[in-house]
Amino acid sequence: MNKKIGIMMGSDSDLPIMKEACQLLDELEMDYDVTVISAHRTPERAREYARNAATNQFGVIIAGAGKAAHLPGVIAASTNLPVIGVPIRTSTLGGADSLYSMVQMPGGVPVATVALNGAKNAAILAVQILALSDEDVKNKLIDYKENMRIDVNNTAGRLKDLGYKKYLEEYF
């Protein structure tokens, strides 16, 4: 059975960032579940989700959070599955608080952490992890990366043909 990717966030205000993970997984036709779980307001639900994740056929969990950003760590402490943290940029400290909360985990409780607001990269990393044991997922990933390569080469060709001034006029 194919493994799902769990996507969670501490608040629905994180959804405009986390939707990028959902969009990428939709594009790759990956199975995922998206929810809101607060490490501070619903800690029991967070632990229950994490403890049951493998039983519920999840292979990787992506957790986005801002400010204190404890959600990925709470999840990582309660499951053996890989957890990818997405630090959400904040208005008070610009996201440094979120980033530090995720990357400064104690030994034995790792959280793979992507860039601030890096939900798309978190989804790609989750797919890469699942591709290690699923040939279908691996092929989807290969196709996705090949399409990125083609897009960059097409852009380079357009820029060369038009010159930078005309390219800027047409595309920006």
CATH number, domain of 63, equals: 3.40.50.1970
Q: Are 3 and 32 in contact (CB under 8 A)?
A: no
Model confidence pLDDT, tens digit, residues 2-24: 899 999 999 999 999 999 999 99
| Between 3 and 68, residue with greater pLDDT | 3
* Residues 13 and 97 occupy one common structural domain: yes
Q: How confident is the model at residue 59 (pLDDT cuts 50, 70, 90)?
A: very high
Provide the pLDDT for residue 1.
66
* Residues 74 and 150 occupy one common structural domain: no
Instruction: Give mean pLDDT, residues 17-39.
Output: 98
Buried b (16+ CB within 10 A) or exposed e, 24-52: bbeebebebebebbbbeeeeeebbebbee
* Residues 100 and 63 occupy one common structural domain: yes
* Residues 75 and 121 occupy one common structural domain: yes
* Residues 155 and 128 occupy one common structural domain: no
pLDDT above 90 coverage of the chain, percent: 96
* Residues 120 and 38 occupy one common structural domain: yes
Buried b (16+ CB within 10 A) or exposed e, 73-91: bbbbbbbebbbbbbbbebe
Q: What is the mean pLDDT of the chain?
A: 96
* Residues 84 and 13 occupy one common structural domain: yes
Provide the pLDDT for residue 5.
98
Question: How many domains is the chain partitioned into structurally?
Answer: 2
Q: Is 60 helix (H, G, I), strand (E, B) or coil?
A: strand
Q: Are 82 and 105 in contact (CB under 8 A)?
A: no
Chain centroid to Cα 167, Å, comes to: 32
* Residues 74 and 141 occupy one common structural domain: no
Runs of H (alpha helix) within 28-118: 43-52, 71-77, 96-103
* Residues 110 and 148 occupy one common structural domain: no
* Residues 55 and 96 occupy one common structural domain: yes
pTM of the model: 0.94
| Domain housing 169 | 135-172
* Residues 153 and 88 occupy one common structural domain: no
Instruction: Give mean pLDDT, residues 147-168.
Output: 97
